[in-house]
Amino acid sequence: MFKHILVPVDGSSTALLAMDKAIELAKVFDGKVTAVHVIDQYPFAGIGADYAYGQTEYQAAATASAKQSLAQASGVAEAAGVPCAQRVVEGHAVHEGVLEAAAADDVDLIIMGSHGRHGIEKLLLGSVTQRVLSHTTLPVLVVRG
């Protein structure tokens, strides 16, 4: 039924809970998991001359964060004996990156945490999970943290 499961990861504990659920289902259905991390394409453009990060520094930090999140998620899957691919997607909207990965990898199910970011950032950005839910026809399992 669910042979290929996509799990967006951002290094949060909620994303790891989603990965745990994906691993459980992949074992039941003899499936595989793809962990995806979406990198925002330099969000400081157009803010002014004094950026919080230079573009090169931002890209290096974002790539390092993506690698760390993906390595942690795939390590958990592989330790459980479940095949896990890794994917990095760049885009201005995280939910669009998740949906792009889902379409490109022909997944059957998306499992994601109810939230990853916290505080004011979550209020300003809105809910990635809500946007994925409203823009996909795929089944989505939301794991509360």
- Report the first-to-last Cα separation within the chain, whole angstroms: 26
Q: Tell me the H-state helices in the chain.
A: 13-28, 55-79, 94-105, 119-125, 128-135
Find the domain containing 57 and state its range. 4-143
- When divided into structural domains, the chain yields a total of 1
Taking the C-alpha atoms of residue 78 and residue 80, their distance in angstroms, rounded to an integer, is 5
Indicate which CATH number applies to the domain containing 10.
Answer: 3.40.50.620
CA gap 113, 132 in Å, rounded: 11
Residue in the structure block whose two tokens are 């230079």: 54
Predicted confidence pLDDT, tens digits, the chain (145 residues): 899 999 999 999 999 999 999 999 999 999 999 999 999 876 665 555 555 557 788 888 889 999 999 999 999 999 999 999 999 999 888 999 999 999 999 999 999 998 765 444 454 444 889 899 999 999 999 998 7
Query: What confidence score (pLDDT) does residue 124 get?
Result: 42
What pLDDT, on a 0 to 100 scale, did the predictor assign at position 120?
A: 45
Q: How many CB atoms lie within 10 A of CB 81?
A: 9
